[in-house]
Amino acid sequence: MKKLLVSIIITSFLFLTGCWDSLELEERAFLSGIAIDLPHDNTNQTLNVTEQIVVPNGLITLPASSGTGKGFRNIVEEGRTIYEVGDAIEKQEDRKLDGSHIEIVVISDEVVKEEYQLADVVDVFMREKRMNREVILSIAEGSAGELLYIEPQDVKLPSQYLTQLIIGNYRSVGGDPQRFGNMQQYFINNRSFTLPLLSTEGSSTGIDLTGLAVFSGDNSKMIGALKDDNLEGYMIIQPMYNGSVTTKLDNTYATFHIPDGKTKIKLKNKDPENLHFEFETFLDAELVETFYSEDFFAHKNMKKLESSLETRVKSLITGTIEKVRDEYETDILGLAEHLITKEPKIWKQVKDDWDYGENYFKDVEITLSVNIDIKEPGNSVDTD
């Protein structure tokens, strides 16, 4: 019975993640996640790689008397390339390593800030014919390997927990994380991009999706991160947004749910040396909480609500623009995409120096237009 359950779980795992060839299932050791770090002493320019291998027996729940173990085990090896590490790990296994069902690859920020270009680190994954193109690529603050040792409560595999954490957070604001299948376009076209940033610090659950790691299109190295207000401002100006905003209202606070947010980018002139963009943001908002005791159905109080929310949203977006344009000088705001699709003649003139080299991006003017429509002010009224 136990062997039957193990066989069913392996088969289900494969159906969820892909297909297999003629090699028997029991002869395979399936990888579910990989973490890449720098060794403590990196004088030999090597990588420290943690590979998480699925243990089918640990994925099933049997009567307590039968006992169960973990659904995974991790093997750590050091090598000059990831492929070399894979070979070393495979020599320790009695089964053939199979990476076609990897869910997530986590890379330490220490690897891609100074030592390596991200494009070089993930080259082996891009070349592997059997690699699942839906694999999520993410960055860890500090150690990446330790993230594969957490003990999640609701799933058996740490790699599965990380995957669900990232996807859930992105979907909550109407987005989707970067996957290997669409990374090639950034590397080939020298386009800047972001990746989910994971951290174990300050989290009550062990791991927190703390922000977005920002990568330069010039060399695919991490140049910084968006967190807190900068992250919130960045999410608001995405084409579609679903989230919440808390604003100051006199001496107290009010929180709004934004079920429907949209931002459109407009080019106000066509001079490549003096480009002027406008972000036009439309937010439908619902007041969900406040300690302010006014009747918000009254027109003057409704206008106060709208003004307060508009001021806060503009402040968030402005802070994000200043961080990205003035400090990082890296376009993750979607301006390049706008020029490519809407103004190809202008893009042809600036593409070789857009956010590196001469760097047209750092000198662009960006103005804001924020339109607030409070659909539901809440049910509370002043009964005095």
- Determine contact, residues 102/90, Cβ cutoff 8 Å: no
Q: Which pLDDT score, from 0 to 100, does residue 207 have?
A: 87
Residue that wins the pLDDT comparison between 54 and 11: 54
Q: Which pLDDT score, from 0 to 100, does residue 319 have?
A: 98
Q: What mean pLDDT is predicted for residues 291-300?
A: 68
Q: What mean pLDDT is predicted for residues 89-103?
A: 82
Q: Which pLDDT score, from 0 to 100, does residue 341 have?
A: 96
Place of tokens 């690859």: 105
Q: Give the C-alpha separation, 187 to 200, whole Å.
A: 29
Q: Which pLDDT score, from 0 to 100, does residue 338 have?
A: 97
Q: CA nearest 375: which of 286, 259, 246? A: 286
Q: Which helix (H) or strand (E) holds 349?
A: helix 344-350
For the stretch 188-240, pLDDT in tens is 999 999 999 999 875 555 788 999 999 999 999 999 999 999 999 999 999 99
Q: Give the C-alpha separation, 49 to 144, whole Å.
A: 9
- pLDDT category, 303, cuts 50, 70, 90? confident
For the stretch 111-137, pLDDT in tens is 999 889 999 999 988 887 777 888 999
Amino acid in position 112: V
Residue 309's contacts (CB-CB under 8 Å, 6 or more residues apart) are: 245, 247, 254, 256, 283, 285, 372, 374
Q: Give the C-alpha separation, 55 to 71, whole Å.
A: 5
User: DSSP letters along 272-298, please?
Assistant: TTS-EEEEEEEEEEEEEEE---S-TTS
Which pair of structure tokens corresponds to residue 272? 């490549």
Q: Give the C-alpha separation, 145 to 166, whole Å.
A: 17
Question: Residues in the chain, how many?
Answer: 384
For the chain, what is the mean pLDDT? 86
137 phi/psi in degrees, rounded to 5: -105, 130
Q: What mean pLDDT is predicted for residues 267-292?
A: 92
Q: Which pLDDT score, from 0 to 100, does residue 97 have?
A: 80
